[in-house]
Structure 1
């Protein structure tokens, strides 16, 4: 059996790497023993200490200046904070390049070789530190940062071929598929870069879509979600294709998995499809006021699986999309914001009903949120046992402000108006009489 098929590590590659490291180490030691190398090391240490001291002097003043920039946008403030944290490295890079250029003009080029290598390494490290700040996931950012630093160091020192051969020798063979460490690292790096680019493009495009007032809120949500799926899906498949993964087998596997998930996750798929239907037919959108069963509130956000509804008491209900499609939903602000509310009350038979209606309408019109261009109306709806029954109807345009509070304000206005005009609000009364021949312990109620 071929040892290459059983061992995950190629011994010959390790021997070659060891010989290469010994040769490079011997070369570096000979270089370090030269006088000009010692001078360059001293210059590098002096520049580092100078950068440290300048940072201690500049950073407090820079921090005070940055705090005074209150009107700056967030992205500019974020860059300012990154500069503050990397100030020592920025100063070191600027001064080491200046030292290299001066040494290059004053002496032979080989006498400034170490300065050039350190300048290139520090510049690469500084650029990578800034670039990896774009990655939102902290763990992924650390992996990409140190991975990029390692690769930049190998590239500047000219050790990329040896490192690639060593990583390629660390592999596992499964049938016709050979999975090496180099392939895994390349796939992770490419995928991280593409996902970061996709995230930036998705964020910028989403902000542009949300600023477009010609697109309805529901269509904005749908467009943003479709764009995110396309960008992140494309980044994933491009990364796999770039490292040589055969997507044909992946497509077959995805189809088989999809069939299994279709049977096992019917509710989840139903909610996903229902969410797309809600976004397309625009039946509800963020900001609408809805009632579903005992839940009354306004829509905070539309999700792929559920709709977030916030009630007046601060509770946030996550209602599955399927319930909004199959259930009866009252959308108080679907086609317009006009909402009519009814208030029932009764007055004494001794009060003039014409006067009662006039006073009730005037009381409702005195409340701020009641519309004046759609004036309230008051009607008699029946003659009760102890009162004449009325209904007072009025319109509002801000159901998000609450319904119970506006009803309470109108009731309070009615109470004040009836008290001012001597209109009584009767209530049922009962008279208890005790019959002579009956048991005193068993009163009869009429």
Structure 2
């Protein structure tokens, strides 16, 4: 190719420097510059301004102009056609399809021009370069819509660099040079192509493992005869297994010997023994919780001062959502080692107690009957077992009675249903003239004692 012959000739005729002093000689620099300028002008006159080259450049400019002229009309037709398709399909293909219309026209135009010039016996060097660049443009435009938005520009620049080197025949020499220059590492060396391949293979296998894991998790979550905790265990085990499989496949693809993992495993074991005790403890505790099913998703538990519904169980922590919307991430080790109240371990039914005080002068049997009647009016209170009211203690100032009732939805809250019961009982007490006694304190002044009264100003 004429373009390559210029660079080759330029390299052959450029004299090497013999010493630092000579390289800074002004006269030699001027002479060398004039030689390069003369060579460039000769190439322009003999190659670039050659009639065959001018014909090719004219064809390329014509194809570019024609593609730019036709693109708006074709884009309008495509938009009108896409508007007739379902909206979900239109949103997926609208932007990528419209983005490649112009380079696709240029590509077709270059291929047609290339065929015509070859049939006429004309030179096609620059047209081939233009068609290769147009093909690279189409592929890059279509491929960049697959990757996330934040990576599109970076990937597009890298793809254009590779495409440019390939078009000018410099890709293979560049890769050969990069493969032989790197950082020594044992018997091998870490080169830029190796790093790029490592990133690509790792990303590919990890993305595939994550995609398969999501599909399998969705399928596992729909298994009808499997306990929720076993589903979580199977899902997590599948995810971890696929992750390790992806790592092994990536190492194998990079020709990294797996025997070296023995050393890594020993170092990892030492790290686990010293710096990762809590992580390992939580991991093992998570497996225990998922296998013994003492705590399951949707259970209502109470840990220390945290009361809520178990939203999810993981291998490191459990997510507990409280009634005020806070999501607590409780380590699995705390759920295994500490005392946990599971309100729905074997049955969702929960008994709630609320104490009241009534005066000695009232009809005690009527008061207990009103408490039971008021409790039954609350919708969440179960009829079976039936609510009950017990006399608990004859206190110094009042009689203490206790209301006991059952609910089967503790995940909806305990204090709120207790408040509804107390309000219902309060209304019935008011209707029947039953008062709640107030605490009173009596002061006994014995004879002979002195009571001092002082006036103080603020």
Tell which deviates more after alignment, 354-363 or 424-433.
424-433
Aligned to 1:177: 188
The residue aligned with 2:145 is 130
Structure 1 segments unaligned to the other structure (5+ residues): 1-17
* Residue 117 in structure 1 maps to residue 132 in structure 2: yes
1:342–1:387 Cα change, 3 Å = same
1:327 to partner: Cα distance: 0.5
Range that drifts further, 31-40 or 291-300: 31-40
Aligned counterpart, 1:9 = none
Structure 1 SS opposite 2:362: coil
Equivalent residue number for residue 42 of structure 1: 62
Give the alignment partner of residue 297 of structure 1, picking from 299, 303, 308. 308
* C-alpha contact 2:181 2:191 (8 A) present in aligned 1: yes
Separation in structure 1 between the aligned mates of residue 91 and residue 235 of structure 2, nearest angstrom = 25
Show the counterpart of 1:226: 237
Q: SS at the partner of 1:132? A: coil
Matches within 5 A, 1:304-383: 304-383=315-394
Aligned to 1:12: none
| Correspondence for 2:421 among 392, 403, 410 | 410
Distance change in 2, residues 1:65/1:301 (3 Å): farther
- Residues 147-201 of structure 1, C-alpha deviations (whole Å, 9 max, x = no match): 4554456556665432321221222223412222222222222222222222222
**Which residue does 1:99 correspond to in 2?**
109
Partner residue, 1:79: 92
Q: Give the counterpart of 2:261 among 214, 226, 250.
A: 250
Deviation string, structure 1 residues 64-101 (Cα, Å, up to 9, x no partner)? 999x94xx4xxx68625xx42x4542212443354356
TM-score, length basis structure 2: 0.77
Taking the aligned partners of 1:397 and 1:91, their CA distance within structure 2 comes to 63
Higher relative contact order (CA 8 A, sep 6+): 1
8 Å CA contact 1:32, 1:38 repeated in 2 = no
1:193 aligned counterpart, secondary structure? helix
Indicate if the aligned counterparts of 1:202 and 1:228 stay in contact, CA closer than 8 A: yes
C-alpha change, 1:48 and 1:211, in structure 2 (3 Å) is farther
Q: For residues 119 and 189 of structure 1, what CA distance do their matches in structure 2 show?
A: 25
User: Secondary structure of the residue that 1:131 maps to in structure 2?
Assistant: coil
Deviations 1:28-77 (A, max 9, x none): 9579824134313431343145436765x6899899999x94xx4xxx68
Q: 1:165 pairs with 170, 176, 188, which one?
A: 176
Q: 267-276 or 153-162, which moves further after superposition?
A: 153-162
Which secondary structure does the structure 2 equivalent of 1:47 belong to? helix
Deviation at residue 379 of structure 1 after TM alignment: 1.7
CA deviation after TM superposition for structure 1 residue 343, in Å: 1.0
Paired residues of 1:52 and 1:88 also in contact (CA < 8 A): no
- Say what the alpha-carbon RMSD is for the aligned residues: 3.6
Identify the match of residue 394 of structure 1 among 397, 405, 408. 405
Distance 1:202 1:34 in 2: 58
Cα pair distance change 1:21/1:145, threshold 3 Å: farther
Task: Give the number of the structure whose alpha-carbon radius of gyration is greater.
Answer: 2
Q: Is the 8 A contact 2:133 2:163 kept in 1?
A: no
Per the TM alignment, residue 276 of structure 1 is displaced from its structure 2 partner at its CA by 1.7
Q: Tell me which moved more, 325-334 or 158-167.
A: 158-167
For 2:11 and 2:364, the matched residues in 1 are separated by: 109
Q: Quote how far apart the aligned CAs of 1:409 are.
A: 0.8
SS of aligned partner of 2:296:
coil
Residues 31 and 379 of structure 1: CA distance in aligned 2, closer, same or farther (over 3 Å): farther
Once the two structures are TM-superposed, the CA of residue 278 in structure 1 deviates from its matched residue by 1.4
Q: What TM-score do the two structures reach when normalised by structure 1?
A: 0.79
Determine the C-alpha separation between the residues in 1 that align with 2:139 and 2:306.
57
In structure 1, the residue corresponding to 2:401 is in which secondary structure?
Answer: strand
1:207-226 correspondence to structure 2 within 5 Å: 207-226=218-237
State the secondary structure of the residue aligned to 2:312.
Answer: strand
- Structure 2: 5+ residue runs without aligned partners? 1-6, 13-39, 454-458
CA contact (8 A) 1:370 1:396 kept: yes
Q: 1: CA distance between counterparts of 2:446 and 2:91?
A: 89
How big is each residue's C-alpha offset from its partner over 1:310-360, in whole Å with a ceiling of 9 and x where there is no partner?
Answer: 322333332221110000000112222211101111222333333222211
Bigger drift between 198-207 and 242-251 goes to 198-207
Quote the Cα distance in structure 2 between the aligned partners of 1:65 and 1:417: 66
Cα distance between partner residues in 2 of 1:347 and 1:77: 72
- Residue by residue over 1:387-431, the C-alpha shift from the partner in whole angstroms, topping out at 9 and shown as x without a partner, is 332221111122122111111111111100111122222233333
Following the alignment from structure 1 to structure 2, what is the Cα–Cα distance between the partners of residues 32 and 401?
Answer: 84
For 2:68 and 2:139, locate their aligned partners in 1 and report how far apart those are by CA, in whole Å. Answer: 17
Label 1:342 to 1:287 Cα distance change in 2 as closer, same or farther (>3 A): same
Shift of 1:142: 5.8
